[in-house]
Amino acid sequence: MEIDGTLPDAVRGGDAPTRERVARSVLENGPSTAAALAERLELTPAAVRRHLDHLIEEGAVEAREPRTYGVRGRGRPAKVFALTETGRDRFDQQYDDLAAQALRFLAETGGEEAVKEFARRRVAGLETDYRLALTRNPDLTPPEAIAEALTQAGYAASVRKGPVGEQLCQQHCPVAHVAHEFPQLCEAETEAIGSILGRHVQRLATIAHGDGVCTTCIPVTAVTTRTTA
C-alpha cells in the first residue's frame, strides 16, 4: 500500500498497475470523487489525487462538477472524475473503426431501416441473458437481472435509486464510439430494456454523447402488462 502521495522517482515506475486500478474503478463505478476512490481502493487521498493528476495530464480522465438533484446543501460539492474518450480507448474498443465502416456500408446499401434492424438484432439476446441471470440468482429484481446480463456483456451495469423510480446505470459501453455516429444502437437497447420490463423506460444520458454513464430511468409502476410463456 502507498504511504503518501510523494513517492521517490525510483519507485514511481511501479505506479502503472495502481493507476490502472484507479481508471478501472472510474470505468466500473462511474464518475467518482477522489475520496470515494480512496475508500474503494484502500489508498490514501493523497495517492489517489496524484494518480488522478497523472491521468488528467494523459487526457484519460477529466474533472467535472457533480450533478445534483433537488436542493443542494451548503458548501461546494467535491468534483467528480470521469473517463474521457481517450481513457475509454484503454479498454476494449479496438474494433470501433471496422464496426463503424460496416454500419456506414449498411446504411448506404440498405438505408436507415437496415441499420435499425441490425441494432434490434444485436440486442435480441438480452432477454435470454436476463432470464439466465434470474435462473442463477432468483433473488434479483428484474432491473438487477438486466444489470447482471449487461455486465456479463461488458457494460459494468448496476441499479441505483433515482429521484423517480430506479436508474439502470451502465458505467461502460463497448460500442460507445460507434453509437455516437449510430444512435440506433442506443435506441434499440432502450427499447429492449423496456420490452423486458413491460414498462416505458427513458434514457437520460449516454456515454456515446459525452455523459459519464449511460443512465436509464425505470418507473416504479409498470405501465403495461407483459405476459411470457
**d(C-alpha 91, C-alpha 84), whole Å:** 12
- Could you tell me the CATH number of the domain that includes residue 22? 1.10.10.10
Q: In this structure, is the dihedral angle defined by the CA atoms of residues 118, 122, 123 and 127, taken in order, positive or negative?
A: positive
pLDDT exceeds 50 at position 208 = yes
Task: Write the CA distances from 128 to 14, 77, 125, 149, integer angstroms.
Answer: 43, 41, 5, 9
| 59 and 117 fall within a common domain | no
Q: Cα-atom radius of gyration of the chain, to the nearest Å?
A: 20
pLDDT exceeds 70 at position 7 = no
| 80 and 126 fall within a common domain | no
| 42 and 126 fall within a common domain | no
Phi, psi of 204 (to 5 degrees): -95, -30
Give the residue with greater pLDDT, 88 vs 166.
Answer: 166
Q: The pTM is what?
A: 0.63
pLDDT exceeds 60 at position 94 = no
pLDDT digits (tens, 9 = 90+) for 184-196: 999 999 999 999 9
Number of domains into which the chain is organized:
2
Note the pLDDT of residue 106: 95
Quote the domain boundaries for residue 54. Answer: 12-88
